[in-house]
Amino acid sequence: MGRVTLIQVLALISLLIIFPNLAFAQLKQNYYSNICPNVETIVRNTVKAKVQQTFVTIPGTLRLFFHDCFVQGCDASVMIASRGSNTAEKDHQDNLSLAGDGFDTVIKAKAAVDAVPSCRNKVSCADILTMATRDVVMLAGGPSYAVELGRLDGLSSKAANVNGKLPKPNMSLDQLNAIFAANGLTQADMIALSGAHTLGFSHCNQFTNRIYNFSKQNQVDPTLNKTYAAQLQQQCPKNVDPRIAINMDPNTPRTFDNVYFKNLQQGKGLFTSDQVLFTDSRSKQTVNSWASSPQAFNNAFVAAMTKLGRVGVKKGQNGNIRRDCSAFN
């Protein structure tokens, strides 16, 4: 091999600046085939058992994956518990509503993997979360897909790092696009990943502005279906406990399907950030396309999840494999 020239070094540095996710090059399918060959079966069996205990496992795990990857990349930093003077990501205001069942799923799967002597401390929490997320999507009737593995767990978790990184229920299309673009994701990726709102629930305080005090001219958001708005007012009367849970998809809340997009066509998006995907002409065509084709949506969702799973991957000295997913080694 010849000497590495300064030009080559500068070229590599510039590539890393332009493409910060190049670390994902270490990811590959069947990464653990020689290290822990049955890892995907072990994780899937744990997830199945957990789903049988409570359906919340499904949306809880899926949401945990999003919240992890959007802050510092997919490195299980959201799993870390606050200790001493460090307030960790999971205790940031935007993460307090993450379901405990999502965390519990990863912890139980990690314990099952580490119970196999040849696998102990060989599989990262970040990879276990990635596998478990694929499995809950499949168990809810969604597509099964091969996951890329090989992530290390992150070495830091700070609540301050969450600020401004996660989508909010009241965001415009431009704001959503900006947050997703910061993670190398396109508008189509954003719309596909928003389709995860076909599962699970939210809380009254996340959307009461749309049904009681939207604007001076309109008490109720005019983009909301009137019948749906009345249903939401019934479920979330004024001064109700804001933690009351409401299904994100009023029709098939326990099935991963394309009904989310059909709901948007009818004015039944729960959040402003859902309904805007249909009311904004720039995204409306994609919503219509996926409302009419479950397969097209599934394909787009798998592609977007694969891209999301490559964000901020840690390697080398920037990560390790945690013995306990909730604590640094």
- Helix, strand, coil percentages (3-state) for the chain, rounded to 5, are 55, 5, 40
77 is in an annotated binding site: yes
Q: Name every residue whose Cβ is closer than 8 Å to that of residue 46 and which is 6 or more positions away in sequence.
A: 105, 108, 109, 112, 132
DSSP β-ladder status, 319-320 and 153-154: antiparallel
46 is in an annotated binding site: no
198 is in an annotated binding site: yes
167 is in an annotated binding site: yes
148 is in an annotated binding site: no
203 is in an annotated binding site: no
203 catalytic residue (yes or no): no
Q: Which of 50, 63, 67, 92 is catalytic?
A: 67
How many whole angstroms separate alpha carbon 182 and alpha carbon 28?
23
Contact 214, 221 (CB under 8 A): yes
Contact 125, 322 (CB under 8 A): yes
DSSP β-ladder status, 201-203 and 245-247: antiparallel
Q: What distance lies between CA 77 and its chain's CA centroid? A: 13
How many whole angstroms separate alpha carbon 244 and alpha carbon 70?
26
Beta bridge partners of 314: 152
Both tokens of 14, joined, read: 């510039």
Beta bridge partners of 86: 83
Q: Give one word for 315, left, alpha or beta, with left for phi > 0 and alpha for psi -120 to 50.
A: beta
How many whole angstroms separate alpha carbon 135 and alpha carbon 240?
35
**Cβ neighbours around 137 below 10 Å, total:** 24
Q: Where are the alpha helices (DSSP H) in the chain?
A: 6-18, 39-53, 57-69, 100-114, 125-139, 173-181, 187-194, 208-212, 226-235, 259-265, 272-279, 281-292, 294-308
- Residue ranges for the known binding site for substrate are 167
- Residue ranges for the known binding site for heme b are 197
- Residue ranges for the known binding site are 68, 71, 73, 75, 77, 89, 167, 197-198, 249, 252, 257
For the annotated catalytic residues, the residue numbers are 67
